[in-house]
Amino acid sequence: MSHTVGSASLDSEWETWKTTHKKEYNSPGEEAFRRGIWEKTLQKIEKHNQEYELGIHTYTMGMNQFGDMTDEEWNRFLGVPMCKVKSEK
C-alpha cells in the first residue's frame, strides 16, 4: 500500500493509529513532529516490504506503537548505550 503525504487516506490512517495506541500529544507542534516521524517510519516499512516481495528480505515489517519514536528515543528505550562518533576530517 502506497501513501501520499497529506492525503486523506494517510490522515485517516494516522488518526486510527493514534486511537489504537492511545497517543496524545501536548501541542499541535509536537503532534506534527511525531506525525513526521511516523510517516518516515511508514515509508521505511513500505520500502522494506516491497523489497521483501522481490526476495531481498526474508521477513516483512509492520507499524506498531513505537512508530512515532526517533532513532535516538528507540535506542534509549532499548537501553542501547549512546556512543560518540568521531567525524573524519
Residue 56 is part of which domain span?
A: 8-73
Confirm whether 83 is domain-assigned.
Answer: no
Q: What is the pLDDT of residue 55?
A: 97
Confirm whether 60 is domain-assigned.
Answer: yes
Confirm whether 84 is domain-assigned.
Answer: no
Q: What is the pLDDT of residue 81?
A: 77
Confirm whether 61 is domain-assigned.
Answer: yes
Domain of 42, CATH number, reads: 1.10.287.2250
Confirm whether 33 is domain-assigned.
Answer: yes
Number of compact structural domains in the chain: 1
Confirm whether 42 is domain-assigned.
Answer: yes
C-alpha dist (Å) from residue 40 to 10, 34, 48, 64: 12, 10, 12, 13
- Sole residue written with cell 506534527: 32
In this structure, the dihedral spanned by the alpha carbons of residues 67, 53, 57 and 65, taken in order and rounded to 10 degrees, is 10
In tens digits, the chain (89 residues) has pLDDT values of 555 555 789 999 999 999 999 999 999 999 999 999 999 999 999 999 999 999 999 999 999 999 999 999 998 989 887 665 555 55
Confirm whether 1 is domain-assigned.
Answer: no
Angstrom distance (rounded) from CA 76 to CA 78: 5
Q: What is the pLDDT of residue 8?
A: 83
Residue 19, classed as helix, strand or coil, is helix
